[in-house]
Chain A
Amino acid sequence: MDHLTPVSALAADPKSDPGEVRLSQARLGDRGVIASVHVRPDVDHRGLSADELERRLLELGFVEGAVLEVIHEGAIGRDPIAVRLDDMRVALRRKDAVDIVLRLTGDAR
Chain B
Amino acid sequence: MSTASARIALVGNPNSGKTALFNALTGSHQKVANYAGVTVEKKEGTITTASGRTVTVLDLPGTYSLRARSPDEAVTRDAILGQLKGETPPDVVVCVADATNLRLVLRLILELRQVGRPMVLALNMFDIAQRQGLRIDLEGLARDIGAPIVTTVATRKRGIEDLVAQIEAKVEALANSGALEAANTWHEPSPAEIRQAHAEAQRLMKAHVRPAERPDTLTGRIDAVLLHPVAGLAILLALLFVMFQAVFAWAGPLMDGIEGGIAALGGLVAAVLPDGLLQSLIVDGLIAGVGSVLVFLPQILILFLFIILLEDFGYMARAAFLMDKIMGGAGLHGRAFIPLLSSFACAIPGVMATRVIDSKRDRLTTIMVAPLMTCSARIPVYTLIIAAFIPNQTVWGFASLQGLVMFGLYVSGITSALAISFIARRLFWRGQVEPFLMELPTYKTPDPKSVLRNLWQRASIFMNRAGRIILPLMVLIWVLSTFPYPPEGATGPAIDYSFAGRLGHLIHPLFAPIGFNWQMTVALIPGMAAREVAVGALGTVYAVANAEEQVGTLAGALSADWSLAMGLAFLTWYVFAPQCAPTLAVVKRETNSWLWPTVMFAYMITLAYLAAMGVYHGAVALGWG
Given A59-B194, A72-B321, A96-B437; 10 other pairs, CB 8 A cutoff: A54-B191, A55-B189, A61-B103, A61-B104, A74-B322, A74-B324, A80-B436, A91-B436, A91-B438, A96-B436
Of the candidates B100, B223, B320, B321, the one having the most CB atoms from chain A within 10 angstroms of its own CB is: B321
0/1 interface trace, chain A 80-104, chain B, CB 8 Å (1 if under): 1010001111111100100000000
Which residues of B (375-416) have their CB < 8 Å from a CB of A? none
User: Once the chains are docked, how many angstroms separate the CA of A65 from the CA of B198?
Assistant: 10
Residue among A65, A72, A87 making CB contact with B100, cutoff 8 Å:
A87
Contact B435 A53 (CB under 8 A): yes
Closest A residue to B104 by beta carbon equals: A61
0/1 interface trace, chain A 39-72, chain B, CB 8 Å (1 if under): 0000001111001011111111101110000011
Q: A57-B437, A59-B194 are in contact. Are A46 and B431 (CB under 8 A)?
A: yes
Q: A74-B321, A75-B229, A80-B321 are in contact. Are A59 and B67 (CB under 8 A)?
A: yes
Min Cβ gap B234→A in Å is: 10
User: Once the chains are docked, how many angstroms separate the CA of A46 from the CA of B331?
Assistant: 13
Name 7 A/B residue pairs within 8 A (Cβ), A-sorted: A58-B198, A63-B194, A80-B325, A87-B101, A88-B101, A90-B440, A91-B437
B53 at the interface (CB under 8 A from A): no
Q: A64-B195, A82-B227, A96-B435 are in contact. Are A91 and B103 (CB under 8 A)?
A: no
In the complex, chain A residues whose CB is within 8 Å of the CB of B232: 75
In the complex, chain B residues whose CB is within 8 Å of the CB of A61: 103-104, 198
User: Once the chains are docked, how many angstroms separate the CA of A58 from the CA of B435?
Assistant: 13
Contact B437 A60 (CB under 8 A): yes
Contact A47 B432 (CB under 8 A): yes
A76 at the interface (CB under 8 A from B): yes
Of the candidates B433, B437, B438, the one having the most CB atoms from chain A within 10 angstroms of its own CB is: B437
Contact A92 B436 (CB under 8 A): yes
A30 at the interface (CB under 8 A from B): no
In the complex, chain A residues whose CB is within 8 Å of the CB of B64: 59-60
B464 at the interface (CB under 8 A from A): no
Which residues of B (266-323) have their CB < 8 Å from a CB of A? 317, 320-322
Q: Which residues of A contact B (CB under 8 A)?
A: 45-48, 51, 53-61, 63-65, 71-77, 79-80, 82, 86-93, 96
B591 at the interface (CB under 8 A from A): no
A-B residue pairs, 5 tightest by C-beta = A47-B432, A75-B229, A89-B440, A46-B433, A96-B435
Contact A71 B321 (CB under 8 A): no
Min Cβ gap B132→A in Å is: 10
Closest B residue to A87 by beta carbon equals: B101
In the complex, chain A residues whose CB is within 8 Å of the CB of B441: 89
- Total contacts A to B, CB within 8 angstroms? 116
User: Once the chains are docked, how many angstroms separate the CA of A64 from the CA of B320?
Assistant: 27
In the complex, chain A residues whose CB is within 8 Å of the CB of B114: none
B31 at the interface (CB under 8 A from A): no
Contact B321 A55 (CB under 8 A): no
In the complex, chain A residues whose CB is within 8 Å of the CB of B324: 74, 80, 91, 93
Min Cβ gap A101→B in Å is: 15
Residue among A47, A58, A63, A72 making CB contact with B433, cutoff 8 Å:
A47
Contact B69 A56 (CB under 8 A): yes
Q: A74-B322, A75-B230, A91-B321 are in contact. Are A82 and B440 (CB under 8 A)?
A: yes
Which residues of B (345-371) have their CB < 8 Å from a CB of A? none
Closest A residue to B189 by beta carbon equals: A55
Contact B191 A72 (CB under 8 A): no
User: Once the chains are docked, how many angstroms separate the CA of A54 from the CA of B198?
Assistant: 14
B220 at the interface (CB under 8 A from A): yes
Contact B436 A75 (CB under 8 A): no
Closest B residue to A86 by beta carbon equals: B103
B334 at the interface (CB under 8 A from A): yes
User: Once the chains are docked, how many angstroms separate the CA of A71 from the CA of B100?
Assistant: 20
In the complex, chain B residues whose CB is within 8 Å of the CB of A48: 434-435
Contact A93 B233 (CB under 8 A): no
User: Once the chains are docked, how many angstroms separate the CA of A80 from the CA of B323?
Assistant: 10
User: Once the chains are docked, how many angstroms separate the CA of A86 from the CA of B194?
Assistant: 17
In the complex, chain A residues whose CB is within 8 Å of the CB of B190: 55
In the complex, chain A residues whose CB is within 8 Å of the CB of B102: 87
Q: A56-B437, A60-B64 are in contact. Are A74 and B195 (CB under 8 A)?
A: no
Which residues of B (23-77) have their CB < 8 Å from a CB of A? 64-65, 67, 69
Min Cβ gap A1→B in Å is: 10
In the complex, chain A residues whose CB is within 8 Å of the CB of B322: 74-75
Q: A55-B191, A80-B325 are in contact. Are A88 and B435 (CB under 8 A)?
A: no
Closest B residue to A64 by beta carbon equals: B195
Residue among B67, B104, B431 making CB contact with A88, cutoff 8 Å:
B104
User: Once the chains are docked, how many angstroms separate the CA of A82 from the CA of B220?
Assistant: 11
Contact B432 A46 (CB under 8 A): yes
Contact A80 B439 (CB under 8 A): no
Closest B residue to A78 by beta carbon equals: B229
In the complex, chain B residues whose CB is within 8 Å of the CB of A77: 325
Residue among B107, B328, B439 making CB contact with A89, cutoff 8 Å:
B439
In the complex, chain A residues whose CB is within 8 Å of the CB of B457: none
In the complex, chain A residues whose CB is within 8 Å of the CB of B100: 87
B326 at the interface (CB under 8 A from A): yes
Min Cβ gap B102→A in Å is: 8
In the complex, chain A residues whose CB is within 8 Å of the CB of B88: none
Min Cβ gap A15→B in Å is: 21
Contact A55 B194 (CB under 8 A): yes
Q: A72-B223, A76-B325, A91-B321 are in contact. Are A63 and B438 (CB under 8 A)?
A: no
Min Cβ gap B435→A in Å is: 4
Contact A79 B437 (CB under 8 A): no
Min Cβ gap B129→A in Å is: 11
Which residues of B (551-582) have their CB < 8 Å from a CB of A? none
Min Cβ gap B109→A in Å is: 14
Contact A89 B219 (CB under 8 A): yes
Residue among B223, B233, B334, B442 making CB contact with A80, cutoff 8 Å:
B334
